[in-house]
Amino acid sequence: MRGMAGCPLRRVRFVRNVHALRAALYSLALLLTLMSPSYSAGASVTGSMTFTCRLTFPVWPTAFGSPVNCSGTASGLLEGKTTTGASYQVQGVNVPLTLGLSFYNQKCTAGFSLNGTGGGTFQFSGLTSRNPPGPATASLGTSWTTYDSALIVGLIPPGGTINLPSEQRALTTGTSRFTAVVRGLSPEPSCNAPGSWTAEVRGVLVMLS
């Protein structure tokens, strides 16, 4: 019996099934994120931010990825209570974003890059605070799981900081989520021949903490 390599039709069907699975997984993850239960109005950080960034992995896939930055822009609105109990609201449209990856790994199983993990920090600059008025920034730690090199499902744990004017700040007190899709801007290296890979990441953070 000939394998997939000897049957072009099987190969085409396999590729189509992979793309269909990617779309289904992303849709499900995004739906679950947006359906997360709302927290009270007194929560320290609520709202959402969409983002787009690009990066080049020095080596992909690998079990020991070195630090790398994903640079781009973000838009959205965050609001809640400061550490002193005052209300605040910050927003941004296409403000600078850096997702700093402190580590990443992408596992190969039977010659296929199926899933992996990573961690790092979202850094938002250029935000505008309405109340209190002035510039603002945000720093949110995160960890995530990747599926099929195309889907990212991540958590944002407590301890993130919204830096506000007049030395005020807000802290994330619960666990929020984000989802993103990864699109290769260069051919993705294989498990048999790892190499440099440039990609674009598009996603949404939903803050409910």
Q: Which helix (H) or strand (E) holds 128?
A: strand 112-131
Question: What single-letter DSSP state applies at residue 165?
Answer: G
The pLDDT tens digits along the chain (209 residues) read 344 444 544 443 444 455 455 555 555 555 555 444 444 444 589 999 999 999 999 999 999 999 999 999 999 999 999 999 999 999 999 999 999 999 999 988 888 888 999 999 999 999 999 989 999 999 999 999 999 888 999 999 999 999 999 999 999 988 899 999 999 999 999 999 999 999 999 999 999 87
Q: What is the pTM of this model?
A: 0.81
Burial 96-109 (b: 16+ CB within 10 A, else e): ebbbbbeebebebe
